[in-house]
Amino acid sequence: MALAPVTYCLWQRFLRFDPEDPIWPNRDRFVLSIGHASMLLYSMLHLTGVKAVNPAYETLGEVSVALDDIKNFRQLDSKCPGHPEYRWTSGIETTTGPLGQGVATSVGMAIAGRWMAEYFNRPDFEMFDYDVYAIAGDGCMMEGLSSEAASLAGHLKLSNLCWIYDNNKITIEGHTEWAFSEDVATRFLGYGWNVLRVGDANDLETLERAFNTFKNTGDRPTLLIVDSHIAYGAPNKQDTHAAHGEPLGEEEIRLTKRNYGWPEDAKFLVPDEVIQHFQQGIGQRGHGLREAWFARFEAYKTQYPELADHLYRMQTRRLPDGWDKDLPEFPADAEGDAGRNASATVLNAIAQNVPWLIGGSADLTPSTKTRLTFEGAGDFTADDYSGRNFHFGIREHAMGAILNGMSLSKVRPFGSGFLIFSDYARPAIRLGALMEIPVIHIFTHDSIGVGEDGPTHQPVEHLASLRAIPGLIVLRPADANEVTEAWRVIMQLHHDPVVLILTRQNLPTLDRSQYAPASGVAKGAYVLADADEGLPDVLLLASGSEVSLCIEAYEQLKTEGIKARVVSMPSWELFDRQDQAYQDSVIPLDVTARVAVEQASTLGWHRYVGLHGHTIGMQTFGASAPLKALQEKFGFTPDSVVAAAKAQLA
């Protein structure tokens, strides 16, 4: 309730948003970072008559939030869940709830807006100039994530970004004085933001002046601090703080309505005049702006047909024709190359054909090999928003959220780091999976193969942790050609975020004339090497660098007359999507002697090796030593695999 005047002023007087078409490309974005205030957003979606949109980007005609949805707030299948959810309710720009995520994601939206303006805008054709507004609370300001994101936004001078800080001095435990006393305004001035203050959330005219000041500020983002008072019920007068987050009681509701001169007994009353009022404000303004944009786009298609085609394909998540025409095929090589190096080659080949494939790293580009090196790629900076190489700084969590915001704006973003630091980005990766957006996360230094850097940098539990996230595809390719095929899969995803996990150390490039083609990656797992005839005696299952280890063991077993099958399993998630017949053809039920090999936690491998199979993996953290010494210590050698296979047969 306290924020209703602020939101009213923003939506009715400023927000460039057409309720009839809530996915119009150049609309302003509104993010409710304080997702627990979701009913504020649902109310606006209902009162402004926002229309529902289906996954095929078609407006359905029905309203996104009906009054019955509001009546069923937080109930099963209601369009009004406890926190706003992207894809579930049209008009919601991003899923929010975990504090700080919304404001950090809004930075990605602002970044995408600036990049798209540089790429698509031409004289007399301003195709992108939208602004991004995000409402934050005290909790958002306390989270470290918002500090990471605000620091980068200030550094990049994102003047199309406005955070509205609801300074009500209340969190779940009670008054913020128990844990929070910093000077937020001074902090944001230090970040390079423009800081404004409105002392009363009900003062519409001062709010309007503040929003106009934001619109006229062209060299930095804006923080608008609004002082408000939260309304909450108090069922127990001795414990008013415990009531925070609870609905108003019946008596409080009655008194509030009396104070506003509203019928005290009426429930869910929305007079027709209210709907008309919003139609005459945001409805007419937004519709006019949208119509003008699409008329401009029609002329743009005539004058700049290639750019118009790119804009359409980007907005509908389609790839340009011939996007994969330069994908490399790597020759067999016993010495091979590191997965990160092969990925660099493939990424640059694709990016030249997909102009909106953009990204960078959390200060690790020289190590993750994710720099776009072709002519014209450039760097995205405050002085040049056209660059395609991004520098997120040592801010893994913010990078993950910013990538989500960029993807929600329909560019195709990638971000990179060391696999060990996926822990720092995990909350944002999880939200990307929940939203079903195709963000690309590239993680290198994938195992104890990091060697001398030691256990602080050697991921052990991270593969299992990422595989546990519903809807996230994990890809760990075994050689350079599997890297190519992994990228082929990644680029064709529409609703799946993906984690591409790559080695620092060299991997042998397998001879595909002797072994199966790498195209099997598309199915998640495939038979790489098989028994000469009949069913194999034992299955050797692996992902990534351990696949070549299994190939060595396979050849050794073959000389001893033991029929083995090597199954490369780059993606459990893709394999589990295949029909049962295919799965059984790769991992036959009749072959119970099974060995899995992976330089990571063994958690989850029992699904494929069975209760009696054996997994060679990590039971402890790693150690600081050269790679070969670590492989010997932890059993990642051909002899260990052969011994495990024979033990299974016995």
Instruction: Report, as residue numbers or ranges, the catalytic residues.
Output: 396
How far is residue 468's CA from residue 600's CA, in Å, rounded to a whole number?
A: 14
The answer to whether residues 595 and 540 touch, using CB atoms and an 8 Å cutoff, is yes
Q: Which residue blocks in 48-158 are alpha helix, DSSP H? A: 67-71, 101-120, 138-142, 144-155
The answer to whether residues 645 and 538 touch, using CB atoms and an 8 Å cutoff, is yes
The answer to whether residues 424 and 415 touch, using CB atoms and an 8 Å cutoff, is no
How far is residue 487's CA from residue 396's CA, in Å, rounded to a whole number?
A: 22
H/E element, 292 = helix 284-303
What are the respective helix, strand and coil percentages of the chain, to the nearest 5? 40, 15, 40
Q: Which residue blocks in 377-479 are alpha helix, DSSP H? A: 396-408, 422-435, 462-467
Q: Which residue reads 């030249």 in tokens?
A: 352
How far is residue 388's CA from residue 370's CA, in Å, rounded to a whole number?
A: 11
Nearest alpha-carbon partner for 40 in 78, 11, 77, 76: 11
Nearest alpha-carbon partner for 420 in 366, 451, 454, 462: 462
CB 582: neighbour CB atoms within 10 A? 15
Nearest alpha-carbon partner for 608 in 545, 521, 536, 539: 539
Residue 184 in 3-state DSSP? helix
Buried b (16+ CB within 10 A) or exposed e, 293-321: beeebeebeeebeebbebbebbbebebee
DSSP state, residue 461: S
Structure tokens at 322: 């011939």
Nearest alpha-carbon partner for 27 in 410, 438, 412: 410
Residues in CB range of 78: below 8 A, 6 or more apart:
69, 72
How far is residue 550's CA from residue 558's CA, in Å, rounded to a whole number?
A: 12
